[in-house]
Structure formats: structure tokens, C-alpha cells
Amino acid sequence: SGDAIDATAAACQAVLRDVFGYAQFRGLQRDVVTHVAAGGDALVLMPTGGGKSLCYQIPAIVRQRAGYGTTLVVSPLIALMHDQVGALREAGVPAATLDSSLSTEEAAAVEQRLMRGELTLLYAAPERIVTPRFLARLQALHAAGRLALLAIDEAHCVSQWGHDFRPEYRELAILPERFAGVPRIALTATADALTRADIAEHLRLQQARTFVASFDRPNIRYTIVEKRDSLRQLQRFLQREHGGPGAHDSGIVYCQSRRKVEEVAARLAAAGWRALPYHAGLDAATRRRHQDRFLREEGLIMVATVAFGMGIDKPDVRFVAHLDLPKNIEAYVQETGRAGRDGEPANAWMAYGLQDVVQQRRLIDESPAGEAFKRILRGKLDALLALAESTNCRRQQWLAYFGEASAPCGNCDNCLQPPQTWDATEAARKLLSCIYRLQQSGAAFGAGHVIDVLRGQATDKVRAHGHERLSTWAIGRELDEATWRRVLRQLVARGAVQVAGEFHTLHLTPAARPILRGEQPLHLRVATEGRRAERAPRQA
Ligand code: ADP
Ligand code: ZN
């Protein structure tokens, strides 16, 4: 009833103040803790740093005081569990962990405290929980009405489509089965629709209330430029936005490969920037030293693979730059999200080109995954490519990908300098027809040759194949080569053209058909726009 809910809300508020010392709930916390403390099921999507822990810690305390017993928290990260338990104990809350770092005796002592009802929260690794022995103990607690709440942190680990799938999380499906009446809360910072559905299915949370916090980071300015000479473009961006060499802004530059990390770090350093490399191929001592310097010193640039960043808590990272395309929007948002944690203005800058598309598609094609899985990976890549090619608000587009509606943001490249576009539908049809004719002639060709045929360039190769007799010979004289490459990139991004094999030959896919028939318009940004924007001086 309303009175009961009010009383629960008041109890939660009191715990927030008296146990944790905070004056107010943040964002959705109040609604979540009230719902869960009152015995409801919840699926909570909140960005990193949003305050997920309190969402189950407060209901745990409130329910323990009301006589419901212990809350079981499932978490995959031992270090994080220990941090949390340490903080809870300091606040006077009886809590413990059960994980592989404990000796047999220590684990037995924890289980005894659990069975005696001395713990308000027990943090446990998933593989610990699903052992028959431990399940039997939980069963006994449950039978006595002393299992207050099941909290599953990092719940996206159940999803095999996600970036952090853990098979042992799958087995947690046994919890709602065995402990049907016990309220459940699942929490994650990964919020795409597919992951959400997976969590709901595997943890039986279809009927649960879903709480979705805003994932927006209004202080981050998103910019995606067309890749030409990416290292020089990066330096110009740094110069313009963050001061030249010797400046005091810290930032991260992400590259795809270890070799590129080394090369970019060396070249930035040679140009006077204070840049350090970081990748999994460096020895542990070097990695630690570079990471420590990045955290401590001002104005360091970490040039890194995605191996760098997890669990790095540096609030004043002023920029995150991508010299290569990440694999999907989740990764892009997670990586760029390391900028501006302090709420001050920060930049997310990326250079993107045809080679990135080809590379990412190839990584998927050549992965040992099954066909259904590859299809999902391709879908996720396509969403990121659409974001990169977009002429509309970047933020609005990636928020929409996570199911969040918003207005144009006024703080991304496309909002600040609306790109001029031209209708490239006809050009796209010419390019696709040309590939089609060449395919019909019996062999496959790369971008250079296709564009030569389109533009009527009578090269030796053209003559050798007799391609000046094709019906599509010289039908694209009106555009220069760079523009044709841009049209091609967009077609590859849309999956209408596939770039295959050692010689990067072009092939049509079924997705080319509606474009060939003129049913799918194609709009491209006018190229000079990007160049001009790059030369423009920094605006106050
Ligand atoms: P998440 O798990 O979502 O990444 P945490 O639960 O670790 O986030 O919380 C992030 C930080 O915010 C912690 O330092 C936490 O103490 C703090 N915090 C959470 N909720 C509040 C609040 N209502 N008031 C003040 N600080 C809060
Ligand atoms: Zn915008």
C-alpha cells in the first residue's frame, strides 16, 4: 500500500544518511531502492560511476533490519568485491566475500557466519554459488526465510553477445528457479537492447521493473572526421583543442594494433608530446609504470590498445582519440566515456576511413564464431558505421541505439557545423552497376580499377581487359577519385559492397539491390567541409 511504500522510502533515506553519510539519492537510486527494499524485482541500467552499489546495499540493510536475513551479491571481480566489503565494514555493516582468494578455513568461517545469520551482505563469485554444497546451504537459509535478496552485479556477463561473456554467469539461471520467492536485482552498465533481453531471459526478470538511467555525457564533445593522414590530423586536433606539445591536458589515443601503438607513441614523442605506449605485449612492470605515470602526472598522452582503460579512474582525462574504428557502439561509448569524468568539457575525437570498415568486417569474417553470432557482430558494426557516416547529431544517434530519446545536442561536430550534403544516390548506382558489369566479365577487381573504369581512365590494365568496351565505361567522369572513394566507403559501410581477399576486390551483396533500383537514397557530406573545419581556429 501507499503507506507501506512511504515507510520503506523513509527507511531507505535514513540508511543513506546514517550508514553511508550521503544527504541525497542520485538519479534513479531512490526509486530503485524503494522498489527493491519493498520486495520487487528490478533490472537496473546505469552508466559506470552512476551509483549502482547503493541500489542493492541499501535494500539489503533495510530488509535485514526487517528480519528477512542476508543478501547474496554475485560479482565477477574479486578486487571490487573486497573494496566494497571493506567500505561496508568501515560503515559498520556486517559483510564478507566468498571467492577463490580465501583459504579453506577462511571460506568455512564465512559460511558459518552466513548460517548463523550474522551477515547483512555476502559477496560471492558465481562459480562459488552454483556448487551443490553452497546451493544446499542457501536452500537451508531460504527454507528458514533468511534469504533477503539476490543481487547480480555486472549482469551483462550472462549475455554471450556481450563483450564480457562469462559462462559461469549462465549457470546463475538456477537462482530464480531454486529461490522463487526471493526478490532479485540485476545491474549493468551495458544497456543495448540485445543484452537487456538476454539478462531478462536468463535471470527470469521479464516481469521485473526496468530502471534505465540516462547514459548521456553532456560534457563530452563528439567529433568524427574522415581519415586522411590520421597522425597529422590527430596532432592538429591536439594543437587546436588541447594546446601543443608541453600542454597540460591528459588524454588517451586508442589504436587497433600493438605495432601501431608503438609507432604513434614514438612519433608523437618525436614531435615533442609526452606520450607513452600501453599494450598487452609490454611486460607487466612497464605497463604498471606507464599507468602510474598517467594517473599521477599532468599532460601525459597514453597511446594504447583497448587493453588500457578498464578500471582506470582518472577524472580529468580531457580527450579520448580513436585512430582506428572500435568494433561497435558499446565499445565506442565505453572508451570515449573515460574522458571528462569530472564533468568538465572533454573531447571524443575519431578519424575513420574505408580501411577501418574493411578491417573490422574482416575481423568478423575470419573469427571462428558461428554464422548466427557473426550476423549479430555485423549488425553491431553496422550501427557504429552508420554513426560514423551520419550527418545528424552524433549523441542523439548513439543514445537512440541504447533506447534513449533525445534532442540534437549542440555539442557534437554535426550540431556545431551542420555538414553540407549532396545527393549521391545516382553516383552510388553508377558505382554498383560498374562493379556488377566487371563481375559479369568474369573476374573481381579492386577499388582503384573500378574507379578507373568509371572515370574513363584508359590504363594498361583497362586496355588489357578490354574494359573500355563495357557499358559502364566512363559513366562517372563528373566526380574525382577521392569522391568516388567516399561513395564506395559509404556503400561498404552499408554492407552493399564487400571488400574481399588478399587483393581487396569488390563484390556486390544482396543489400546492393535496393540501392541499384534507386529505392534507397544516399546522402554524403560535402568533403571540403571536413577540411575547412579542421583548419578552423579554436572557437572560444
Ligand atoms: P557504479 O557501480 O555504478 O559504477 P558506484 O556504486 O561505485 O558506481 O558509485 C560511484 C561513486 O559514487 C562511489 O564513490 C559512491 O560512493 C558515489 N555515490 C553513489 N551514490 C551516491 C549518492 N547518492 N551521493 C553521493 N555519492 C554517491
Ligand atoms: Zn549533436
Beta carbons within 8 Å of 378's beta carbon, 6+ residues apart: 361, 364, 495
CA 269, CA 276: separation in Å to the nearest integer?
8
Cβ-based neighbour number of residue 250 at 10 Å? 21
Intervals of the chain under pLDDT 50: 529-540
- Rounded to an integer, what distance in angstroms lies between the CA atom of residue 80 and that of residue 310? 12
For residue 27 and ligand 1, the question of a CB distance below 6 A is answered with no
Q: How far is the CA of 434 from the centre of ligand 2 (A)?
A: 36
CA distance 41 to 396: 30
Q: Which of 12, 17, 22, 24 to mutate to test the pocket of ligand 1 (most atoms within 8 A of CB)?
A: 22
Pocket test of ligand 1: the residue of 13, 19, 25, 26 to mutate, having most ligand atoms within 8 Å of its CB, is 26
Task: Please give the full DSSP string across 111-162, using - where no structure is assigned.
Answer: HHHHHTT--SEEEE-HHHHTSHHHHHHHHHHHHTT-EEEEEESSGGGG-TTS
**What pLDDT is stored for residue 80 in this prediction?**
86
**By alpha-carbon position, which residue is closest to atom 2 of ligand 1?**
52
CB within 5 A of ion ligand 2: which residues?
Answer: 393, 395, 409, 412, 415
Among all ligands shown, which has an atom nearest to the Cα of 16?
A: 1
User: Would you state the pLDDT for residue 535?
Assistant: 38
User: What does DSSP say about strands 421-423 and 523-525: parallel, antiparallel, or unpaired?
Assistant: antiparallel
Q: How much is the ipTM here? A: 0.97
- The percent of the chain in helix, strand and coil, each rounded to the nearest 5, is 50, 15, 35
**By the 8 A CB rule, do 202 and 158 touch?**
yes
511-528 pLDDT per residue, tens = 999 999 999 888 887 865
Tell me the pTM: 0.77
Residue-wise pLDDT tens digits, 189-200: 877 788 889 999
